[in-house]
Amino acid sequence: MTPSIPTNLLQQIASTYGTPVYVYHAEKIKQQYETLINAFSVLDIRIFYASKALTNIHIVRYLNSLGCNIDCSSINEVKLALHAGVAPENVLYTSNGISFAEIEEAVEAGVHVNIDSLSNLEKFGKKYGHSYPVGVRLRPNIMAGGNIKISTGHNKSKFGIPVEQIGELEAIVKANNIFIRTLHIHTGSEIKDADVFVKGIEVLFDLIPHFPELEVIDLGGGFKVPYIPGEKTADVASIGQKLKQAFDAHPLANNRKLQVWFEPGKFLVSECGYLVAEVNVLKQNGDTIIAGVNTGLNHLIRPMMYDAYHHITNLSNLNGTEKKYMVTGYICETDTFASDRLLPEIKEGDLLCFHNAGAYGFEMSSNYNSRYRPAEVMVKNGEAILIRKRESFDDLLKNIPA
């Protein structure tokens, strides 16, 4: 597994913008988007990029230029999408445990809205009635995903309205004359099994008769991407075919000509991203050498939060003799990126590249230990474009009164 961006360009970016630095490959994003469009061409679909994965407005703007819509998990993500030039009708806002004021702001902006609680749905109905089509997020009680922290559809999840509360939901809809256009579920992340999506859509099929104005089935996202060399990605073509078969086998769904929406985030941007860091120190630890780098959980928290694997390349010595290393960060916490990892021989000053860093990398970064967040660079048509400046000491002070 080698970076799709040439090694010399990554080294040049590190030299120009300093390390650590996030680098994103635009053409990889385009490739992933086209893969989804082709896989689901058997259905009437719309793709909404789950911008929580990587919200930089240059990434949002680029995806929008490809024809991709934008999915948002907060009102500020909605504002960022609109600021990036995305038309309101191409923005979806899926609420989760928020104040009704956020929903009101989303309606005022004219974007699509999904509501995930009976309480907010009732407030919505009392204020807007039938005048503003809306979606409801349901909890399908399906366990799926690569880690319990990213599984969102199981029966202990905080997300969505439990399907067993369909009677209460229907009563609120009727009492307030609400136009339910969309039924939405999202079962989790890192899903490679087509049957998970089929189970989800079958849950929704059973609910179709309750919503005569229904136009959209929203299946969320969560398609698996490969983190470990040789690991398989989600077979999205197979998922498309199986969903088409499910529609064809369900006359009511097929006769209604329902549109299908997906909200992939990681699938679109994970593999496009790299975090390049410099080796600060080497320490001998028994048979293992500790390589301490100038980044940490403040920039890439996934290994510590999810036990996630990120492939590592030594850009300074691609084909050197392999030795066993523990790669650790510079934060005053345990922030181990890799243990017992065979890597080409590392020297202090070498550049290490962390793969699959496009999704939930910079987006989940922080100023922990008063460290600066890194620069972000997008490579497009072979050209490196700065899309976020590295922070400085002034950024640590800018919101603090003197």
Binding residues: 222, 302, 306, 333, 360
C-alpha radius of gyration, the chain, whole number: 23
State whether residue 42 is helix, strand or coil: coil
Of 182, 172, 184, 170, nearest to 137 by C-alpha is 184
Is-catalytic flag, 332? yes
* Cα distances (Å, whole numbers) of residue 389 to 184, 366, 378: 37, 15, 12
* Cα distances (Å, whole numbers) of residue 164 to 138, 203, 323, 392: 10, 11, 55, 51
What DSSP string runs through 104-151? HHHHHHT-EEEE--HHHHHHHHHHHTTSS-EEEEEE-----SSSGGGB
Structure tokens at 213: 């104005």
Angle of helix 194-205 relative to helix 236-248, nearest 10 degrees, comes to 30
Annotated binding site for substrate: 302, 306, 333, 360
Annotated binding site for pyridoxal 5'-phosphate: 222, 360
CA dihedral 52→55→59→65, nearest 10 degrees, is 70
CA distance 5 to 8: 9
Catalytic residue, chosen from 68, 72, 332, 353, is 332
Non-local CB neighbours of 211 within 8 Å, separated by 6+ positions: 173, 180, 183
Q: Are 124 and 171 in contact (CB under 8 A)?
A: no
The kind and range of the H/E element at 251 are helix 251-256
Residues identified as active-site: 332
